[in-house]
Amino acid sequence: MRFRVDVAANVPIIPWRDVHGPARGVVYDLIKGQDPAVADELHDAGWQSSSLRPVGVSPPLFSGTRPRSGAYSTSPDGVISMGSPVPRIAACLLAALAGQSELHWGSVTLSVKGVQLDGVADHTGGVAVFDTVSPVLMKHEDLYILPEDRNFQERLIHNIRHKADLLGLPNEVDVEVLDSGPRRRFDVAKGFRIGATARIKVAAAPQLLDALHEWGLGLSTVEGFGWIR
């Protein structure tokens, strides 16, 4: 399940450290309000004794903004998307958001204007082209790598198979990077992240494609990275 939260910002600019930095805390707080055991498991160890956290979220995305050098502009027309392929986690997020009038996203207060479910994508053909609205994070030998790097596709396939195994889904997958955006660096609570947005063709079982659409691509999806449009 995935859904969108329509928001309005109370300030014209979000500090760059608050674009991705608060995402993890916001997600865990929402889940904790509904099911503290689930929130603690995700926060402390990962889901079902794995290192993975099957939650996806986008950073706040705003329309009708004017580009500003060195600044992340806001507007009254914003959206934060969230999702999870695990029904228990998705239900916690949706129930928590239904009672929220505002979200504290770092130093910025976002008024919640509404919450609505996303439409269901059709992956029955076993092939999907995923466009991400936030950078996809991948590592090779503890270094961040970009979609054009030699080891990127191999590491992304490994990551997707790991996700499939956690969810009990078929893990055969093929990946092709079609396009990518510029290298970006973001600060978060536990350091920094480096990646790039990407357009990626994925061939896999329809159930796995559904799960990725609800979860995101790559690492640190709970921090707002790799969210699929």
- How far is 74 from 205, CA to CA, in rounded Å? 38
Q: Which of 85, 199, 84 is nearest to 135 (CA)?
A: 199
Class of domain 2-117: alpha beta
What's the first-to-final CA gap in the chain, in angstroms? 14
Q: What's the pLDDT at 49?
A: 84
Give the residue-averaged pLDDT of 4-28: 94
Class of domain 127-223: alpha beta
- How far is 74 from 61, CA to CA, in rounded Å? 8
What is the token pair recorded at 126? Answer: 């076993």
Chain centre distance of CA 155: 18
- How far is 175 from 201, CA to CA, in rounded Å? 6
Degrees (nearest 5) of the Cα angle 96, 218, 22? 40
Give the DSSP H or E segment for 18. Answer: helix 17-20
Contact status, residue 182 vs residue 158, Cβ threshold 8 Å? no
**pLDDT of 67 higher than 80:** no
pLDDT in tens, 104-154: 999 999 999 999 999 889 999 999 999 999 999 999 999 999 999 999 999
**pLDDT of 178 higher than 90:** yes
Q: What average pLDDT does the chain have?
A: 95
pLDDT in tens, 33-61: 999 999 999 998 899 889 999 999 999 99
**pLDDT of 66 higher than 90:** no
Give the DSSP H or E segment for 210. Answer: helix 206-215
**pLDDT of 68 higher than 80:** no
Domain locations in the chain as residue ranges: 2-117, 127-223
What is the token pair recorded at 23? Answer: 């995402």
Length of the chain: 229
Residue 182, amino acid: P
Cβ neighbours of residue 189 closer than 8 Å, sequence gap 6 or more:
21, 24, 25
Check if 2-117 and 127-223 are the same fold: yes
Q: Give the three-state DSSP class for 84.
A: coil
Residue 154, amino acid: E
**pLDDT of 217 higher than 80:** yes
What is the token pair recorded at 166? Answer: 């956690």
**pLDDT of 168 higher than 90:** yes
Q: What's the pLDDT at 84?
A: 98
Cβ neighbours of residue 106 closer than 8 Å, sequence gap 6 or more:
14, 15, 17, 18, 21, 22
pLDDT in tens, 80-100: 999 999 999 999 999 999 889
What is the token pair recorded at 218? Answer: 């790559």
pLDDT in tens, 186-207: 988 778 999 999 999 999 999 9
pLDDT in tens, 26-37: 999 999 999 999
